[in-house]
Amino acid sequence: MSVSATTSRTPANRRERRHPELIGVGAAAKYCDVYPSTIRRWITAGRLNAYRVGPRLIKIDLAELDKIMRPVGAGWS
C-alpha cells in the first residue's frame, strides 16, 4: 500500500502553527528599536504579554510586538 501525498504528515508545519514565535527581551528591543528596559516596563505595565521560560528567561511573542506597533497620523504628504 502506498501513501498518497494528501495523507503525508508535516509535523514542522503543525508545530509552527501551534506555537508562537518567541524571542528574547534583547531581540524584542532591537525589533522595536528601544532599550531592553523599555520592553520590561511594557511587560510590567501589562502593555505587552510575555512568557517566563524557566526561572529567569523571559520570551515575547513576535505577533504581540506587531500588535502594539501602530502607525502614527493620517499619512505623510
Return the number of other C-beta atoms located less than 10 Å from residue 31's C-beta.
15
Which carries the bigger pLDDT value, residue 41 or residue 77?
Answer: 41
- Whether residue 61 contacts residue 21, with contact meaning beta carbons closer than 8 Å, is answered with yes
Q: Is residue 74 part of a domain?
A: no
pTM: 0.67
Q: Is residue 5 part of a domain?
A: no
Number of domains in the chain: 1
Q: Is residue 43 part of a domain?
A: yes
Which carries the bigger pLDDT value, residue 26 or residue 74?
Answer: 26
Instruction: Tell me the residue range of the domain where 32 lies.
Output: 19-68
Q: What is the CATH number of the domain that holds 50?
A: 3.90.105
Residue 9 confidence (pLDDT): 55
Which carries the bigger pLDDT value, residue 7 or residue 22?
Answer: 22
pLDDT interval class at 72 (50, 70, 90): confident
Query: Which cell goes with 72?
Result: 502614527
Inform me whether the pLDDT recorded for 40 exceeds 80.
Answer: yes
